Amino acid sequence: MTQRQRGGRGERNSNAKVITLKELTKILDLSPTTISLVLNRARGAKSIPKETKDRIFEAVRKYNYRPNFLARSLRVRRTFSVGVLVPELSDGYSAQVLAGIEERLLDAGYLCLVTTHHHRPELLEDRPLLLYERCVDGIIAVDTPIREQPPTPVVCVSGHHPVPGVLNIELDHGQAARLALEHLLGLGHREIAVIQGQAFSSDTQVRWESIQRVAGELGVEIPPERVVQLEGDSPLPDTGYEAAKRLLGRGVSFTALFSFNDISAFGAIRALREAGLRVPEDVSVVGFDDIWEASYHIPPLTTIRQPLEEMGRLAASMLLERIQGPRNGEEGGVVLVRPELVVRASTAPAPDKGDAGR
């Protein structure tokens, strides 16, 4: 049996000699430019037939061709790496945005360097510098404030701070507030409580302002005693649990709760149950984000869906355009993304006044 038969079609021969680009061009009878365009997934490769691309990738595996990364980097003056700043790695929001970012960057042949800051001021200052020192070609900042014009291309996801040259990809929070409040009003809820996000989150202020504005337009009053803010920097449900307990401790009446995110909604539901309140029979709960766990919670959570993976892919695509194109006159601005209401089992018609548990 030959080596080719043992390895099987398309498998790399680990014992074979590593060949050069010059040798690969002779084997394939293709120009170095064509091979490089395909392997680098460059824009110019779009016009190359799929059959040719398949031949190139098969030959690369078969003959153990290894592109000279250092030579390529020196030639085009890029490191083919992108830095990503996120608050946490353990929360569903960051994980889903990262999934979209990584998918797009890997498809373009870029390495993704991720670092966290936990909203700590010293890390917010240090981590971008760390990435700049690693000579990344650009940075994607997720729920991370960028307050100064950076030395490399930067795209923010939920940044909310206008900075020259920095593009922000943001959810349409006004539409999100309208979807949630109209849903609750349609179920007969008038006494609506709100759990705000932590003060350090980029989304907190704009989301709360949107809720207030839309509530006013819809004729709904959300008094201060029905509003409580998340405290602490934990990415776990305990922040929502503690916030809901403080809200319940005020003795204020409410039949619906709109929570800052799905994670805090999970904690709030536990606090409501411990207080003897049923969800959704006594209190309806609406979350925000539609993280992966939302549909598996008990009860499955009604929530505002942010297309988190798509936002990550969009951020990566727009950053790559800025890396590969001229930077002169590069503008910042905002790209708005549309939210979606996902109705599940945590919301129901408002209870009769005499039946309400709180």
- pLDDT, tens digit, 9 for 90 and up, residues 272-300: 999 999 999 999 999 999 999 999 999 99
DSSP label at 111? E
Phi, psi of 82 (to 5 degrees): -130, 135
As a dihedral over the C-alpha atoms of residue 204, residue 167, residue 161, residue 237, rounded to 10 degrees, the angle is 20
Kindly state whether residue 181 falls inside one of the protein's structural domains. Answer: yes
Residue 330 has pLDDT above 90, yes or no: no
Same domain, 43 and 90: no
Same domain, 182 and 229: yes
As a whole number of angstroms, the distance between CA 289 and CA 116 comes to 20
If one counts the domains in the chain, the total is: 3
What is the strand order of the sheet 167-171 is part of?
111-116, 81-86, 138-142, 154-157, 167-171, 333-337
pTM: predicted TM-score of the whole model, two decimal places: 0.78
Q: Residue 331's pLDDT is what?
A: 66
Same domain, 248 and 326: no
Which pLDDT tens digit goes with each residue over 185-225? 999 999 999 999 999 888 999 999 999 999 999 999 999 99
Same domain, 238 and 331: no
> Percentage of residues in the chain with pLDDT exceeding 90?
61
Grade residue 354 by pLDDT with cuts at 50, 70 and 90.
Answer: low
Kindly state whether residue 112 falls inside one of the protein's structural domains. Answer: yes
Kindly state whether residue 234 falls inside one of the protein's structural domains. Answer: yes
CATH number for the domain spanning 46: value is: 1.10.260
CATH number for the domain spanning 147: value is: 3.40.50.2300
**Region at 183 (left for phi over 0; alpha for psi -120 to 50; beta for the rest):** alpha
Return mean pLDDT, the chain.
88
Which pLDDT tens digit goes with each residue over 159-180? 877 888 899 999 999 999 999 9
Which pLDDT tens digit goes with each residue over 109-125? 899 999 999 989 899 88
Same domain, 286 and 187: yes
Kindly state whether residue 272 falls inside one of the protein's structural domains. Answer: yes
Kindly state whether residue 31 falls inside one of the protein's structural domains. Answer: yes
Q: Mean per-residue pLDDT for 128-154?
A: 88
Q: Residue 43's pLDDT is what?
A: 63
Kindly state whether residue 148 falls inside one of the protein's structural domains. Answer: yes
As a whole number of angstroms, the distance between CA 146 and CA 125 comes to 10
Reduced to 3 states (helix: H, G, I; strand: E, B; else coil), residue 210 is helix
Residue numbers of the domain that contains 59? 3-67
Same domain, 102 and 114: yes
Label the pairing between strands 340-342 and 302-305. Answer: antiparallel
Evaluate whether 196 touches 261 at the Cβ level (below 8 Å).
no
